[in-house]
């Protein structure tokens, strides 16, 4: 190899190395910003950190798309909390009525009695006040008494008594005549009869009052009102709805009882009245009450049927406790029919007292005398209106005073 060749190779190597070095330096320069620009950027980043970071030239990896959110599962509706049923409001305890005291009721009801019986009292007084009493006058007195349903026997007795006294005592003064009439009427009604309700039991058992009579006379009403009379006297009572013929009667009785805080024993409609009576007295004994009042049905058309039923009711009740009173209810407005009923009942059951209802609706108050005479038992109560306390213990003097008012 020649020297020239060696020189040529050396020159080539130098040229290639120089070119490579220049290329590296120029590349380095192109990669950085110029120095003053570099200073400004540095300052900005330090002094104003809120500025966005300068973008690096290196390409930033593309952010992966966020994974699609899985669709949220459909929310299962929460079951509605079961609503607690609103508690039914406690029924207000019924306000119990305080019945009117029985004593003195007849005086309160006197005006009603006087209104209905005006013709009887005024008719008698008008004739007796005359200066002289001839046969025609005495006939007039007789007719007035008969028209008021006093009955033939008691009318004859009264007329005889009056005639005798007027003659013997030489009565001319109308006031004196009035006094004599008053005394004779009271005597005829019987002032000394025991008219108290026999409602006291023996041996720690309750008294038992059986109420009988034809339907419609006011039996159920009477039982309800008697309960009030007893409650007013501070006695405890149980009612027996032994009128099983009429469902409404038991309902009616229960309502009467509830008003004064008295329980009612009922049976199925059409059931055996004797068994209701039995149950009522049994409850009365269990509850330790003073009195059991038993309503019965009067819807019986034959005497035999009536006898069977009432006899059975009484017999069955008496397996528990003796019946202390049998009250017969008579509607005063039915006149002679009422008298016939009294006779039939008197034959089938031992009646011990009479309740005369609807005396406010008739001028025939003489039935008080007639019915007592017929049955030989006293009138113990009279009904003088539809009010709850319009049942009054009967008092002969108050009654006659109202008649002669
Ligand atoms: N004016 C008046 N009405 C009365 C009297 N007593 C009862 N009454 C009325 O008579 C009607 C019949 O009375 P109730 O008690 O239903 O007769 P009841 O005898 O029980 O009849 P049944 O249950 O069908 O056997 C009712 O409208 C009562 O208000 C009274 O003294 N005067």
Q: Which helix (H) or strand (E) holds 189?
A: helix 174-189
- State the distance from the centre of ligand 1 to the C-alpha of 328, rounded, in angstroms: 14
Residue 215 CB–ligand 1 contact under 6 Å: yes
221 annotated as belonging to a binding site for a ligand? no
What is the rounded distance in angstroms from the CA atom of residue 129 to the CA atom of residue 61?
141
Q: Contact at 8 Å (CB) between 328 and 286?
A: no
Q: Which residues pair with 296 in a beta bridge?
A: 242
Residue at token pair 């059409």:
270
Q: Contact at 8 Å (CB) between 309 and 300?
A: yes
Mean pLDDT across the chain, nearest whole number?
82
Residue 174 CB–ligand 1 contact under 6 Å: no
Residue 69 above 70 pLDDT? Answer: no
Q: Among 267, 201, 276, which Cα is nearest to 237's? A: 201
What's residue 182's pLDDT?
A: 95
357 annotated as belonging to a binding site for a ligand? yes
What's residue 348's pLDDT?
A: 84
298 annotated as belonging to a binding site for a ligand? yes
pLDDT-wise least confident of 31-45, 156-170, 228-242: 31-45
User: How large is the average pLDDT for residues 54-83?
Assistant: 52
User: How large is the average pLDDT for residues 288-315?
Assistant: 85
Q: Is 144 helix (H, G, I), strand (E, B) or coil?
A: helix
| Contacts for 300 with CB less than 8 Å, ≥ 6 apart | 306, 309
What's residue 33's pLDDT?
A: 52
Residue 112 CB–ligand 1 contact under 6 Å: no
Q: Which residue's CA is the nearest one to ligand 1's atom 28?
A: 218
User: How large is the average pLDDT for residues 352-371?
Assistant: 92
* 298's tokens: 């009067």
Write down the pTM of the prediction: 0.76
Q: Contact at 8 Å (CB) between 326 and 298?
A: no
What is the rounded distance in angstroms from the CA atom of residue 342 to the CA atom of residue 115?
26
**Which atom of ligand 1 sits closest to the CA of residue 299?**
25
**ipTM higher than 0.90?**
yes
Residue 388 CB–ligand 1 contact under 6 Å: no
Q: Is 186 helix (H, G, I), strand (E, B) or coil?
A: helix
Burial 60-95, CB ≥16 within 10 A → b, else e: eeeeeeeeeeeeeeeeeeeeeeeeeeeeeeeeeeee
pLDDT (tens digit per residue) in 137-153? 999 999 999 999 999 99
123 annotated as belonging to a binding site for a ligand? no
pLDDT above 90 coverage of the chain, percent: 51
pLDDT-wise least confident of 94-98, 210-214, 364-368, 372-376: 94-98
Render 335-353 in DSSP notation, one character per residue. Answer: HHHHHHHHHHHHHHS---E
What's residue 26's pLDDT?
A: 40
**Which atom of ligand 1 sits closest to the CA of residue 221?**
15
Q: What is the CA radius of gyration of the chain?
A: 56
Select, from the ranges 20-24, 108-112, 128-132, 383-387, the one with the highest average predicted confidence (pLDDT).
383-387
| Contacts for 133 with CB less than 8 Å, ≥ 6 apart | 127, 163, 166
Length of the chain: 405
The CA distances from residue 359 to 161, 219, 390, 394, in Å, are 26, 14, 11, 12
What's residue 94's pLDDT?
A: 67
Burial 106-142, CB ≥16 within 10 A → b, else e: beebbebbbebbeebbebbbebbbeeebeeeebebbb
Q: Contact at 8 Å (CB) between 223 and 210?
A: no
Residue 358 CB–ligand 1 contact under 6 Å: yes
Confidence grade of residue 38 (pLDDT, cut at 50, 70, 90)? very low
213 annotated as belonging to a binding site for a ligand? yes
Q: According to DSSP H, which parts of 96-173 are helical?
A: 105-108, 110-128, 135-147, 152-168
Q: Is 97 helix (H, G, I), strand (E, B) or coil?
A: coil
What is the rounded distance in angstroms from the CA atom of residue 28 to the CA atom of residue 152?
159
Best residue among 211, 306, 357 to mutate for probing ligand 1's pocket (most ligand atoms within 8 Å of CB) is 357
Q: According to DSSP H, which parts of 190-331 are helical?
A: 219-232, 247-259, 273-287, 303-317
Q: Which residue's CA is the nearest one to ligand 1's atom 25?
A: 215
User: How large is the average pLDDT for residues 274-299?
Assistant: 94
What is the rounded distance in angstroms from the CA atom of residue 325 to the CA atom of residue 209?
5
Q: Which residue's CA is the nearest one to ligand 1's atom 9?
A: 218
The CA distances from residue 74 to 37, 81, 96, in Å, are 57, 20, 62
- State the distance from the centre of ligand 1 to the C-alpha of 247, rounded, in angstroms: 15
- State the distance from the centre of ligand 1 to the C-alpha of 171, rounded, in angstroms: 44
Confidence grade of residue 44 (pLDDT, cut at 50, 70, 90)? very low
Residue 47 above 50 pLDDT? Answer: no
């Amino acid at each position: 190899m020649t020297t020239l060749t060696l020189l040529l190779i050396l020159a080539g190597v130098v040229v290639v190395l120089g070119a490579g070095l220049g290329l590296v330096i120029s590349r380095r320069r192109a990669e950085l910003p110029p120095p003053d620009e570099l200073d400004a950027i540095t300052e900005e980043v330090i002094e104003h950190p809120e500025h966005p970071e300068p973008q690096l030239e290196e390409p930033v990896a593309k952010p992966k798309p966020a994974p699609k959110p899985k669709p949220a599962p459909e929310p299962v509706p929460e079951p509605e909390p079961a609503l607690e049923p609103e508690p039914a409001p406690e029924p207000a305890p019924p306000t119990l009525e305080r019945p009117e005291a029985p004593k003195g009721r007849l005086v309160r009801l006197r005006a009603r009695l006087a209104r209905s019986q005006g013709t009887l009292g005024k008719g008698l007084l008008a004739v007796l006040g005359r200066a002289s009493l001839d046969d025609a006058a005495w006939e007039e007195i007789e007719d007035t008494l008969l028209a008021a349903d006093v009955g033939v026997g008691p009318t004859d007795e009264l007329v005889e008594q009056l005639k005798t006294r007027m003659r013997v005592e030489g009565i001319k003064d109308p006031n004196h005549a009035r006094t004599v009439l008053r005394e004779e009427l009271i005597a005829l009604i019987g002032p000394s009869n025991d008219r108290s309700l026999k409602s006291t039991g023996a041996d720690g058992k309750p008294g038992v009052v059986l109420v009988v009579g034809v339907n419609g006379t006011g039996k159920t009403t009477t039982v309800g009102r008697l309960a009030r009379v007893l409650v007013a006297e501070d006695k405890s009572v149980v009612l027996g709805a032994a009128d099983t013929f009429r469902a409404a009667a038991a309902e009616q009785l229960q309502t009467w009882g509830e008003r004064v805080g008295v329980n009612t024993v009922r049976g199925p409609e059409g059931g055996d009245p004797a068994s209701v009576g039995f149950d009522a007295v049994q409850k009365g004994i269990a509850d330790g009450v003073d009195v059991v009042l038993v309503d019965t049905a009067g819807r019986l058309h034959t005497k035999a049927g009536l006898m069977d039923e009432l006899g059975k009711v009484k017999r069955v009740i008496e397996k528990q406790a003796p019946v202390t009173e049998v009250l017969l209810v008579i509607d005063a407005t039915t006149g002679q029919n009422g008298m016939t009923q009294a006779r039939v009942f008197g034959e089938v059951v031992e009646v011990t007292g009479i309740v005369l209802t609807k005396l406010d609706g008739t001028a025939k108050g003489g039935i008080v005398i007639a019915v007592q005479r017929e049955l030989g038992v006293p009138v113990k109560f009279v009904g003088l209106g539809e009010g709850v306390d319009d049942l009054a213990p009967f008092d002969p003097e108050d009654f006659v005073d109202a008649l002669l008012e």
